[in-house]
Amino acid sequence: MRSSVRSKKFLRLFVSYAILTFVAVAIIYPLLWTIGASLNPGNSLISTTLIPKKPTLDHYRELFAGKESLLYERWYWNSMKISFFTMLGSVISVSFTAYAFSRFRFKGRRNALTLFLLLQMVPQFSALIALFVLAQMLGMLNSHWLLILLYIGGQIPMNTYLMKGYMDSIPRDLDESAKIDGASNTRIFFQILLPLSKPMIAVVAMNGFTGPLGDFVLSSAILRTPDAYTLPIGLYNLVNEVMGASYTTFAAGALLISIPVAIVFLMLQRNFVSGLTLGGIKG
């Protein structure tokens, strides 16, 4: 009997560790390959070893030397600016919207939540032509601010649903006690709901920051001049038009994007995991 229980427990642990190992390898191996490629001499990603035999920093120097260096630095700054303001706008808009859906009952509330889920299922690039025409009509083609507004709007539906689920898990007794003491809805939101919602705010902030860094389709439709490009567009054009398909330089430039992402994650990691696990408690 005991041996059977131990065997089942051992089997469960073995399967769990096997799955975790597979996931870790699937995540870490491409990252190591990209690092090795960025240090590999030449322009090809093909290498017989994961770690180059003669590693070099020439590809990193190419990004910060000559005419292209000014463009790369500009693209980096553009991406950081867009990501920061998208993160800020997403946190503000999602927090207010989720609070309204969580604490107030109004006509069309349930239908609006359903609409949010449906909108999340529609990829943003499906409306690419309409967004391009809208940008032309507003005279905001090649504008970072229009791109920021589009990113914020695209992140509102799903993040609002997650934030609402988290706020629903916060006892309403806290609201009632504050109202008895004379607190307004605004004060309850800023002094009670927001501090208690820090884990989910961290999730929304992380999504808002990383989203623009990985976008190519929408940004390439809105941004038209090289000095307005973000890193995904700039690097693509750099290695295909300027440097002649230098994928190792592309790898070096792409790795540098991970630095601010890692910094933001380290700043938010205390609340990030709990926000992911508790965000869908209630619908």
Q: For position 76, which CATH number holds?
A: 1.10.3720.10
Residues counted in the chain: 283
Q: What pLDDT is attached to residue 87?
A: 95
Q: What is the value of pTM for the model shown?
A: 0.83
Please write the tens of the pLDDT for every residue from 140-183. 889 999 999 999 988 888 888 888 888 888 888 888 888 888 88
What domain range is 261 assigned to? 61-278
Q: Please compute the mean of the pLDDT values over residues 250-256 and round it to a whole number.
A: 85
Looking from the CA of 248 toward its CB, the CA atoms found within 13 Å total 21
Cα separation, 117 vs 71, whole angstroms: 39
Select, from the ranges 67-81, 166-180, 240-254, the one with the highest average predicted confidence (pLDDT): 166-180
Q: Please compute the mean of the pLDDT values over residues 95-119 and round it to a whole number.
A: 85
Cα separation, 91 vs 262, whole angstroms: 19
Is 10 within a domain?
A: no
Q: Please count the structural domains in the chain.
A: 1
Higher-pLDDT residue of 138, 127:
138
Is 26 within a domain?
A: no
Is 50 within a domain?
A: no
Q: What pLDDT is attached to residue 95?
A: 93
Is 16 within a domain?
A: no
Query: Cβ atoms within 10 A of the Cβ of 263, count?
Result: 11
Please write the tens of the pLDDT for every residue from 20-65. 898 888 888 888 888 888 888 776 666 656 677 778 888 888 888 7
Is 85 within a domain?
A: yes
What is the average pLDDT value for the chain, to the nearest integer?
A: 83
Query: Cβ atoms within 10 A of the Cβ of 25, count?
Result: 11
Is 231 within a domain?
A: yes
Is 84 within a domain?
A: yes
Q: Which amino acid is at 24?
A: A
Q: What pLDDT is attached to residue 49?
A: 64
Is 212 within a domain?
A: yes
In order of 7, 97, 111, 148, 243, the CA distances from 144 in angstroms are 59, 24, 32, 6, 26
